[in-house]
Amino acid sequence: MTAHFSPRLVLPPWRAMRITVIAELTQPSRYVPQLTMLVTQLALTWWLWRALYAKVTESAGLNVSQATSYALLGVLFLQFKSVDRSSNGDAMDQLMLDGTIAYWFTRPLPARRWYLIRMCGDLGYGGAWALLGYVVCRAIGAIAGPPTWAAGGAALATLALGLVITYYLQAIVDLMCFWSTINDSAVMAVQLASSLLSGAFAPLWFFPGWFQRADGFLPFESTLNTPLSLYVGRLPVSALGTQLAIQAAWCAALAVFTWWLWRRACARVTILGG
Amino acid sequence: MRITVATAVHWTRGFLQGWRVALRISGANFRARAAYRGDFVTALAMGLAWQASVLVFVTVLLTRFPGLGGWTSGGVLLIVAIRLLAHGANVMVFHPLYLVPKLMQQGALDGYLIRPMPVYRQILLYTFPLSGVGDALSAVLLFAFALTRVHLHWTPLMALYLIAAVIGGMFLEGAVQTAVSIIAFWRTMPLAVFMWFDRMIATFGNYPFSIFPLAARVVLTGVLPIAFIAYLPAAVLTGRAASTGVPVWLAYASPAVGPLLYILARYAWYRALTRYESVGG
């Protein structure tokens, strides 16, 4: 199904980004746990890394300030993916099981555009939490600033592309529902892979060389490790060009793959319940 | 009430019958999960891999650093292993409690109220917790690995204490989940509330409490008693009970805390159930 182009229809659909914000902020039982979880995760991470460095000044090329900042920024990065759609019955597998996925194909815009708009809302809402956490952590000195303005800019540029890769990875998981109906395990798999292989559990610099080399062939490292390593100064700014090229290559490959998946998915929509 | 042989036999028959039904329902649930083959295999693998990631994280850090909070790397691994064993057992039994908010929203609990089986048990039998199998397997592997690093002189008493600690930890997590699910009787509750408690336990339960400031130690021992799941039992097994900051007798009694809290949580749960109002009015 193709949407008829009309300027009147271009902007209004993007207002759907607000759905996430409205859904999340209307109930304290949604944002209060998120706030407390963020605070406790940040506190634990700070205590943990300070305790680990109690008898060591440098490890894996990172000093205590760099390692703590990296780990705290890793916690903040995870906020981008913190929106819980399943509580609203709005997760992809629920839409498939309820049959409400049908509405995606009756709206005056393509399903993949609708998906993009909603995901932008999710990432924007999660990003607001991350930004809030960053400002507070910087204010209390828990996270150190980047060594130079150039490093900060490089980190921001790679973060932007890292989020694009994150979007495509999530889209692939969600699109799997068109074939498997249930994708709980796939969601877990991507969560695990993206957390472990991106450096969210622990900075990748602490992992053995073989692990880092193998990880270099996957897209996850580009989402988190690259921007954070540039931010803390573990990667020099001179490496920015190479890193951007790698990220751009992953973005292009994943974009082509998801485009192909969308085409296949749209051709085989199954509405359960008849 | 006078207990006679006849009432005892009647009660025992009812108890065994209840278990038979529970096992048959679990078998049916298992077959239902196996119907989605891709999801079945992935769920098993992911349960295993997810907990293995904890092992990777801890071992990576402990090979880079000499220890944590005055504990050796072997001691820290023992804490992680006990917590994961307790968590694996907990997932196998109590995982469906996460579905209570969903059952409330759908009004499915109404049907449970008229069936000849306790409501709480019906919820526990809602689905087969496949990921729990992977969790339990990875916990056993991690524990075997921890044993090679911790160098303890095991005695039968210590082994019994360990088993009691794992069961106690399982019930403690179950008590928290049972208590949290009560909120769903009163208001719409997102999964995030459950996940918050789950992550609190997963986040703070894996490390020696000596790395936390005093206020956090007090909260994690007296308010949300995560210390009793793995930290205190590990301290007892490694001979560090005196340096935990809690009375030594309490550290030794930590396996009993979980079952006691669970009994209280179950009581509170059934009290809350009497106030349940269907979403249909």
Q: Does residue A1 carry a pLDDT above 50?
A: no
pLDDT tens by residue, A126-142: 999 999 999 999 999 99
- Asked if residues B201 and B276 have their Cβ atoms less than 8 Å apart, the reply is no
Separation of alpha carbons A82 and B60, rounded Å: 26
Between chains, do B69 and A34 touch, taking CB under 8 Å as contact?
no
At position B52, the amino acid (one-letter code) is: A
- For the segment B261-280, the average pLDDT, to the nearest whole number, is 86
Q: Does residue B140 carry a pLDDT above 90?
A: no
Separation of alpha carbons B189 and B200, rounded Å: 18
- For the segment B191-204, the average pLDDT, to the nearest whole number, is 77
pLDDT at B134: 78
At position B118, the amino acid (one-letter code) is: P
CA B226 from chain centre, in angstroms, equals 11
Q: Which residues of A touch B65 (CB under 8 A)?
A: 52-53, 55-56, 59
In the block, which residue shows the tokens 């060591």? A56
All residues at 6 or more sequence positions from B235 whose CB lies less than 8 Å from its CB, including other chains:
B241, B243, B244, B251
Alpha-carbon torsion angle A180, A182, A184, A186, nearest 10 = 0
Q: What is the interface size between A and B, counted as CB pairs within 8 Å?
A: 110
pLDDT at A89: 73
Beta bridge partners of residue A58, listed in sequence order: A63
All residues at 6 or more sequence positions from B164 whose CB lies less than 8 Å from its CB, including other chains:
B255
* Helices A240-266, A111-139: inter-axial angle, 10-degree rounding: 140
Between chains, do B50 and A30 touch, taking CB under 8 Å as contact?
no
Q: Per mean pLDDT, which range of A164-178, B48-62, B150-164, B229-243 is the poorest? A: B48-62
Q: Does residue A273 carry a pLDDT above 70?
A: no
- The complex scores an ipTM of 0.71
pLDDT at B188: 67
Half-sphere CA count of B56, side-chain side, radius 13 A: 21
User: In this structure, what token pair is assigned to residue B141?
Assistant: 């592997």
How many Cβ atoms from other residues are within 10 Å of residue A240's Cβ?
19
Torsion sign across C-alpha atoms A6, A8, A13, A14: positive
Beta bridge partners of residue B71, listed in sequence order: B68
Residues of B with a Cβ under 8 Å from any A Cβ are: 36, 38-39, 42-43, 45-46, 49-50, 53, 56-57, 60-61, 64-69, 101, 105, 131, 183, 187-193, 195-196, 199-200, 203-204, 207, 210-213, 216
Best A84, A97, A98, A185 member to test B by mutation, with max B CBs in 10 Å, is A185
Q: Does residue B201 carry a pLDDT above 90?
A: no
- Asked if residues A155 and A231 have their Cβ atoms less than 8 Å apart, the reply is yes
- Asked if residues B130 and B40 have their Cβ atoms less than 8 Å apart, the reply is yes
- Asked if residues B207 and B76 have their Cβ atoms less than 8 Å apart, the reply is yes
pLDDT tens by residue, B37-86: 777 777 777 777 776 677 777 777 777 887 888 888 888 889 988 998 99
More confident residue, A5 or A38: A38
pLDDT at B83: 92
User: In this structure, what token pair is assigned to residue A175?
Assistant: 């699109």
Give the A window 144-203 contacts with B, CB below 8 Å.
180-186, 188-189, 192, 195-196, 201-202
- For the segment B10-21, the average pLDDT, to the nearest whole number, is 86
Highest mean pLDDT among A71-75, A204-208, B183-187: A71-75
Give the A window 32-51 contacts with B, CB below 8 Å.
33-34, 36-37, 40-41, 43-44, 47-48, 50-51
Closest CA in chain A for residue B49:
A192
CA B158 from chain centre, in angstroms, equals 21
Q: Per mean pLDDT, which range of A61-65, A87-91, B68-72 is the poorest? A: A87-91
How many Cβ atoms from other residues are within 10 Å of residue B46's Cβ?
25
Percent of chain B with pLDDT over 90: 26
- The confidence band for A193, taking pLDDT boundaries of 50, 70 and 90, is confident
Q: Which residues of B touch A84 (CB under 8 A)?
A: 190-192, 195
Question: Euclidean distance between the first and final Cα of chain A, in Å?
Answer: 20
Got the DSSP string for chain A?
--PPP-HHHHSGGGGGGHHHHHHHHS-HHHHHHHHHHHHHHHHHHHHHHHHHGGG-SEETTEEHHHHHHHHHHHHHHHGGG----GGGT-SHHHHHHHSGGGGGGTSSS-HHHHHHHHHHHHHHHHHHHHHHHHHHHHHTTSSPPPSSHHHHHHHHHHHHHHHHHHHHHHHHHHHTHHHHS--HHHHHHHHHHHHHHHTSSS-GGGS-HHHHHHHTTSSHHHHHHHHHHHHHTSS-GGGHHHHHHHHHHHHHHHHHHHHHHHHHHHTT---TT-
Query: Helix (H, G, I), strand (E, B), or coil: what is residue B213?
Result: coil
Q: What is the mean pLDDT of chain B?
A: 85
Separation of alpha carbons B122 and B273, rounded Å: 14
Separation of alpha carbons A126 and A117, rounded Å: 14
Percent of chain A with pLDDT over 70: 90
pLDDT tens by residue, A219-259: 999 999 999 999 999 999 999 999 999 999 999 999 999 99
Alpha-carbon torsion angle B263, B264, B268, B270, nearest 10 = 20
Between chains, do B42 and A185 touch, taking CB under 8 Å as contact?
yes
Between chains, do A189 and B49 touch, taking CB under 8 Å as contact?
yes
Separation of alpha carbons B76 and B57, rounded Å: 12
Separation of alpha carbons A127 and B38, rounded Å: 33
Highest mean pLDDT among A40-49, A139-148, B268-277: A139-148
pLDDT at B118: 87
The β-bridge relationship of strands B67-68 and A58-59 is unpaired
Separation of alpha carbons A146 and A134, rounded Å: 12
- The confidence band for A11, taking pLDDT boundaries of 50, 70 and 90, is low
Highest mean pLDDT among A12-16, A45-49, A77-81, A245-249: A245-249
More confident residue, B127 or B57: B127
pLDDT at A10: 58
pLDDT at B171: 96
